[in-house]
Every structure is written in C-alpha cells, then in structure tokens.
Structure 1
C-alpha cells in the first residue's frame, strides 16, 4: 500500500534554505530623537520635566523634627555640637554619647544625612570652607620619565550648623515649654514637685509609681506616673540614664514649681481670711 500523502513529505533543506525570519519583521522607528534617563535599576525612562516645589530649609527642618519626634533631643544635641565645625569621627562619638541610654536604629551617618537634607547642617573642610567648592585635581607624577595622573585623597569632611539650623536650635526653649505645662496643670503641681525631687538621685518607673499612683490628686481623672514622666521628658526636665534622672532644666523647673506652689498657697490663705 502506497502513501498518497506526499504533500506531508517536506524537503527541509530545499524549503527553508532561503527563509530569513527577519524578512517579516517591520523596521522600527528611528530612535535618534529619543532621550532617556537612567533609573535606579539601570532601566531608561523618558525624560520629563517635573515641577518640584522648593521647600524652604526652615520648613524642612520643622518637618524633620516633627516626623522624628522621638529623636528630637539627639538631633538638637547634634546641632549644638556642630556650632563649630566637627569632624565626622567626632560627630559619631557625640551621637553615640547622646544615644547611650536611648537605643536607636539611626546611626550618626543616618542622622547627619537627614539634617543635611533638611538644611540644618552642611559639609565643610577643617578650615570651614564649603565642601562643594573643593575640586580634587589629580597630581602629575613622573615615573621613569613618564608623567602620570595620580588621584588625590579628598579632604576630611567636617560638619557645621547652618543659619537655618542655628535659628531652630535657638528657638527650642524647653524651660518655657515646661513653664507652660505647669501653668496648665496647676492642680498637679505637687505631683511634678515630687517627681522632680525624688528623681534627683535617679528612680525607676516602679519607684516613681509608688510615690504617685496612690495620691488622691490622680484618682479622678485616673492618671499614672508615666503620664507626668512623659511630659517632663518632652521638656528635657527628665532624662533616662538607666533610671529617670532630673536634668538641669528639671532643677530649674523644680524651683519654678515651688515658687508657683508658694504663690498658690498664699492666694488660698488670703481667700480664707477674706
């Protein structure tokens, strides 16, 4: 029996020897006028003009401190430290000191970068010259009669506070904030006095709780020692150093509390006599 399906028999060599798959591909448009920009991963994107509003440094600094509220004291400490130019090494040591009792995932480099982006600090040389003005031209050296270009190490980076950073630092007045809180919380002046007094020698939260939580003043509404600790810490009146400890601001605040309580007591006596 013969196979009549001869049309299925293909001579691959004869049928495909002249076949070019590229003949059926339409030519692409000319890309000579295409302009691209390299993305984060190396891919190209069409260049576009994107209008980005310029935010003043003063506003950027305020936004940074608002978003980094838990690091406020450390950031302020950095600003105070770089009122004169400080090397990167010295700044790293200072940040370690500032965060010794307050662990943070933010390193000195992280915090410096954030403050620099906000416009609060800037890079300079040891002499205080803007770092962006430094151009490291390679040196020409001659070896065996042949001249070579030898790279030059860049100068060490120093950090210094900017005008806007200095203005923000000067505007931070923790004692004024503490006074405002005390004037709003006159009912709890004895509680503030007690906490600031006992913490001069350092106290744990448990020890402070024992001195505060059973006081009749905090029963209605029900308040606990951490409520007052938090307020005092935000005013730099207390700091955590393995225990809660009264700071210099806190000692000044304690004098204010006692003065306010004395005035309050005098007013009550006058009212009683009237």
Structure 2
C-alpha cells in the first residue's frame, strides 16, 4: 500500500486540457534542466522501493491528523486552492453533497485536476480534515449498518424493501479548521519573495505582465524571461515562477491567461519594499 493508495489518488476521469503549457507545446524542452526549473512537473530523488512505500504508508496511517493533512497538501500542491476551498465551505457548518460538488466544479474550472469532487472529499476524509456526515452531523459510517434492506411480508410473500439512505453531507474537522485558520497567503508570498532575492526581478516581471486587463499567456512569459541571465545557472523557466506565484494566490489561470490577483498586486508592493530595504543597506 502506498501513500497514493492511502489518499485514494487514482484518477477516475480523463485529464482536462492543460491550459498554461498549451502555448509552449511546439517549443523544444531542455531535457537536462533540473526538476526545480519549472520545465518538468516531477520531484527530484530516486524512486523508493515497494517496501519503503509500504512502510511510509503504514506510518502515515498511524500519524496524527495534522501530519496527514500536511502530507496531503504537500502531495497535492497544485490542487491546494480546491482542497482549501472545500474545507472553508464546510468549516463550522454542515454542507449538503450537491452544494459541495458544485463548489468544487467551479474551483476546478480554473484549477485543472483529473480528480473528481468525490475523490477530493474522500482524500480529505482519510487525512482527517473532513467528515462525511448526515444532515444532523452524525458520522455517515455510524448509520451505514442501518441501511440494509428490510424484510417485509406481504400476502404471505417475503420481500426485501430498500431503505432510503440519508443525504450525504460534509463537515470540516477541528484539525481541518486549523488549516483554514492558518492559511496566510500574503505571509507565504512575502516569505517566497524574501527567500529568493536573486529571482525577485523575475517575480516582478511576471506580476507586471499579468497585471493588465486580459492578463498574459504562458508563451509571452516564456518569451520575456526564459533567456534571462539569472535563469541560466541553474536553468530555470518562466513557468516555474508563474506556478510559484499561483501557489501563493498571487496569480490565477482564468480564460486562457495568467491574471494577477489582489494578493499579487500587494506582492508588487512587497517587492518594492524589499528592494528599497536592500538599497538602504547598501
């Protein structure tokens, strides 16, 4: 059993068209670029053995909910907005399944994912961030044993009468609520910009290009930045910086373009502040 098995990450529907890279499909890829470059959606390191994966999954099952949730969010970084949106919606209030599904579909419109809404909810359940409940907040697993068909006798003939299952609802757990409360995208963005001063001008260019009405395309970002001297050693690409900003809520992919958010606009102010502080120190 792997960690993927634990979170039930098996895709159940075809991958939707991937927008950001559509504009670069004809470009040549640098096959020697490091994983960190943004060219590849892979993590560095060797593949673990089957025994190592099984051991990790078993340890994760026994881990506290907070650790399991953190592992899930790390594993599903590109779906962070969707997962967090589910927890926010169900935080402190039981939400019926159909409303949660509708919310997830809206979030997926600009955050492509091969996972269904049910997949995502159950991943959060297994991580300990979400509960599957009835309308009165009872754990659904507690009533599943009462849903067996009933035996009834009509005119001397025995029949199995199906039992109407109660509506499935969702409720964020206390551990999930802590994740919602702790999410501080502005602080995460500032930390990113503080920790990568050598690329701060790249982040600024990306944000500025995405600021006009209509945003900008990945192809335009690549044309403007991929040959920047700062991205040569180690080799980096514009996609990496757009993704980092999007992961910190500074950009969003909408209507086939990268667009700046309110947090991204604040990011430009943060960059100006950090640059000014460095100049003062000099």
Per the normalisation by structure 2, the TM-score is 0.65
Structure 1 stretch displaced more, 96-105 or 199-208: 96-105
Unaligned runs of 5+ residues in structure 1 are 1-50
Tell me the equivalent position of 2:65. 57
Verify: 1:256 aligned to 2:255, yes or no.
Answer: no
How much does 1:129 deviate? 4.0
Residues 118 and 227 (structure 1), Cα distance of their counterparts in 2 relative to 1, 3 Å cut: closer
How much does 1:101 deviate? 3.0
How much does 1:156 deviate? 0.8
**Structure 2 residue corresponding to 1:78, chosen from 72, 86, 110:** 86
Structure 1 stretch displaced more, 68-77 or 157-166: 68-77
**Structure 2 residue corresponding to 1:113, chosen from 122, 142, 166:** 122
**In the aligned structure 2, how far is the partner of 1:183 from the partner of 1:127?**
46
Tell me the equivalent position of 1:124. 133
- RMSD of Structure 2 on Structure 1 (CA): 3.2
**In the aligned structure 2, how far is the partner of 1:259 from the partner of 1:77?**
31
**Structure 2 residue corresponding to 1:163, chosen from 157, 165, 174:** 174
Verify: 1:212 aligned to 2:242, yes or no.
Answer: no
Deviation beyond 6 Å, 4+ runs, structure 1: 136-144
Tell me the equivalent position of 1:39. none
Q: Secondary structure at the match of 2:259?
A: strand
**In the aligned structure 2, how far is the partner of 1:225 from the partner of 1:194?**
10
Verify: 1:66 aligned to 2:79, yes or no.
Answer: no
Q: Secondary structure at the match of 2:165?
A: coil
Q: Secondary structure at the match of 1:102?
A: coil
Tell me the equivalent position of 1:93. 102
How much does 1:122 deviate? 0.6
Contact 2:203–2:241 (CA under 8 A) maintained in structure 1: yes
Tell me the equivalent position of 1:153. 164
Contact 1:193–1:258 (CA under 8 A) maintained in structure 2: no
Residues 58 and 192 (structure 1), Cα distance of their counterparts in 2 relative to 1, 3 Å cut: same
Verify: 1:190 aligned to 2:204, yes or no.
Answer: no
**In the aligned structure 2, how far is the partner of 1:123 from the partner of 1:106?**
18
Higher RCO (C-alpha 8 Å, min separation 6): 2
Q: Secondary structure at the match of 2:62?
A: coil
Verify: 1:236 aligned to 2:249, yes or no.
Answer: yes
**In the aligned structure 2, how far is the partner of 1:255 from the partner of 1:54?**
44
* Structure showing greater Rg: 1
Aligned length: 218
